[in-house]
Structure 1
Amino acid sequence: MNLAGRTILVTGGTSGTGLAVAKAAHRLGADVLIGSRSQTSYAEAVAPMGGERVAPFIANFADPDSLEAALGRLEMALNRPTDIVHCAAGGLEPLLRPLLRATAALRRTEPGPQRDAAIARQRDELDRLVHQNATSAFEVNHEGPRWLFERLVPMLRDGGRIIVYSSLWSEGVRRGDCPAFYWSVAESKTQFEEWLDEAAHQWGSRFSAAVLIGHLISDTSMGKLIDRNMVQFMAPEDVPPFRAGYITSDQAAEATIDVLTRPIEPGALRRFYLAGSAKLTTTLDTALMAVVGRMPL
């Protein structure tokens, strides 16, 4: 497999899945534009990759001025992207401390009716906080990416790929299969996917667009937090299938390379599911989705 001759913009490219994708694409010969909110994070991420065939795309999706500046620099560059892999996400930052306080309080309650009542109270409080702080999630996951894609995608060569990441909680958010703490992230990503599908129809045969809908990526900081602090409050029978569906950032990167290189029909946003391995499917695992939807907080 060879990606030589392609220049891939990887947003959120300095950690987690984004960094794994950037490294994998670089190993296969691609030039990589690594999206980061800071030059320092970019420099730390690319140090092991060396200085060849890598360049920064410094922007904050919550800051329109920084996006405009980054796009301006890209327009002046000789090496414009041929493909986009959008891994950047955010919006949970205001919820992390309340979420950890909630799980700490729950650990002090006995399993049974007392804990069930405590979970319901904590869920209601998290729901209130999520809606109170939802603006940042919609800026980072919908408004900022949409602004950038509307301007950047027309710069791509015909045949380019646009790949975005989503989650099973985004898949289930409109059906109530999403925990309260994740609602703003899931809903904002769903709205972006809806826009991207409309845009893909307008692009026609020029570009192929795909969304990778994955289960929990277990070796990221957020994946570790959820596994360590929240899975313990699921029903015991739900824990094994929930954990069996985990994927790693390297598996997500492998799946991304697959989508970058396999034939994909243009004209609509194509949906792929990823759980338990790097193998992509086009069919939702409804049994896993039911378990995922029962995360209690």
Structure 2
Amino acid sequence: MSKPLMGKNALVTGASKGIGRALAVRLGQDGAVVAVHYNSDAEGAKETVHEIERHGGHAVAIHADLAADDAPESVLAGLDSVLGSHVAPAELDIVVHNAGVGESSDVESLTLAEYERLFAVNVRAPLFVTQRLLPRLRDGGRVVNISSGVARIAMPAIMPYAMTKGALEVFTFQLAQQLGSRGITVNAVAPGVVVNDRTRDQMRANPGFADYARELSALKRLGEPEDVAGVVAFLCSDDGRWVTGQVLDATGGAHL
């Protein structure tokens, strides 16, 4: 089996479940050593590591609360503890910012605390974690930000969440311009409705949700985490070397 990422080190945030787990597993299958970040779900992160190892890959788990002010330092300390050495800090080739607060209230019921947590995890953390990782990111590396289809689709019920993803997309093309001279590509991937624990809960609570979500897509099915992982794997591979500053829609053609 081809291992296009052999010899690469990757960090995937929010990789204890769902899309993040699928991303980490795919990068591990492609040969990368994967740092599996988690916040509250240590057991889930351990399961992700085991899944990567079961497929013949190598992975380690690191903990950091991305809502905390010291999140960047926690991420670096975690990386150094598992990927670094006594004489050199950990270096990375791939950074995937997947962790995020996935739901929000509408504008009428949004609280300041909810707003601050949304932007802390979904925007501030990717910005400042990347800032601290830039000296560790090797030339020719990859940064992939996981956005959302709602950044281009008006859904007022989750407006504040959508705002964070819009900010993440602006960060994407600005950073791509800055890092291009180092051969580093920076892109975003925007999934639509993907089957995971949260959407399964929505389907149980609202029996019509699954049919509604299928109808949104031109392909008339729900997304799977592996669908998103395949897009990210392409961007992280050498085949994706000429794509930068872009948002790749991975919604299955929702709201075309």
Same fold (TM over 0.5): yes
Report the equivalent of 1:58: 63
> Aligned to 2:92, what secondary structure does the other structure show?
coil
Tell me which of 9, 12, 18 is aligned to 1:7. 9
Q: Hey, what's the Cα distance between the residues in 1 that align with 2:207 and 2:156? A: 12
Matched, 1:199 2:201: no
- Please tell me whether the aligned partners of residues 203 and 209 of structure 2 are also in contact (alpha carbons under 8 angstroms): no
The answer to whether the aligner puts 1:259 opposite 2:240 as a matched pair is no
- Structure 2 residue matching 1:252: 3-state secondary structure: helix
Write the deviation string for residues 181-204 of structure 1: whole angstroms up to 9, x where unpaired.
x22211012112212321221112
Deviation (angstroms), 1:233: 7.5
* Alignment of structure 1 residues 109-188 onto 2, 5 Å: 126-132=106-112, 133-172=114-153, 177-180=154-157, 182-188=158-164
* Cα shift at 1:257: 1.2
Which secondary structure does the structure 2 equivalent of 1:289 belong to? coil
**1:229 to partner: Cα distance:** 4.0
1:242 counterpart residue number:
216
Kept after mapping to 1: 8 A contact 2:187/2:245: yes
When normalised by structure 2's length, the TM-score is: 0.82
Instruction: Please state which structure has a larger fraction of its residues in helix.
Output: 1
Q: What SS does structure 2 have at the residue aligned with 1:162?
A: strand
Aligned residue for 1:158, secondary structure, equals: strand
8 Å contact from structure 2 (residues 173, 187) kept in 1: no
Q: Counterpart of 1:45? A: 48
Deviation at 1:249, TM superposition (A): 0.5
Output the CA distance in 1 between the equivalents of 2:236 and 2:10.
Answer: 10
> Displacement, 1:215?
1.2
CA RMSD of aligned residues (A): 2.7
Amino acid at match of 1:183: M
Give aligned-pair identity as a percent.
Answer: 23
Instruction: Report the Cα distance in structure 1 between the residues aligned to 2:149 and 2:53, rounded to whole angstroms.
Output: 35
SS at structure 2 position matched to 1:157: strand
Q: CA deviation digits over 1:28-82, x for unaligned, max 9?
A: 2211111111444422432344496212221111012243133134356144221
Write out per-residue CA displacement over residues 240-276 of structure 1, whole angstroms, 9 at most, x where no aligned residue. 522625210011112221221223336x521211133
| One-letter amino acid of the counterpart of residue 255, structure 2 | M
Q: Which runs of 5+ in 2 are unaligned?
A: none
Partner of 2:187: 210
Pick the structure with greater CA Rg: 1
Is the Cα contact below 8 Å between 2:234 and 2:240 reproduced in 1? no
Contact 1:33 1:81 (C-alpha < 8 Å) held by counterparts: no
State the SS of the aligned residue for 2:27.
helix
Question: Aligned match of 2:255 in 283, 286, 289?
Answer: 289
Q: Please give the secondary structure, in 2, of the residue aligned with 1:34.
A: strand
Match of 1:28?
30
Q: Is the 8 A contact 2:52 2:58 kept in 1?
A: no
The number of residues matched between the two structures is 240
SS in 1 for 2:152: helix
Q: Is the 8 A contact 1:10 1:21 kept in 2?
A: yes
Could you tell me which runs of 5 or more consecutive residues in structure 1 were left unpaired when the two chains were aligned: 96-125, 277-284, 291-297
Please tell me whether the aligned partners of residues 91 and 136 of structure 1 are also in contact (alpha carbons under 8 angstroms).
no
Q: TM-score, normalised by structure 1?
A: 0.71
1:69 alignment counterpart:
74
The corresponding residue for 1:294 is none
Matched, 1:269 2:245: yes
Which whole-Å CA distance do the structure 2 matches of 1:231 and 1:190 have between them? Answer: 30
Q: Secondary structure at the match of 2:189?
A: strand
Q: Which amino acid aligns with 2:91?
A: R
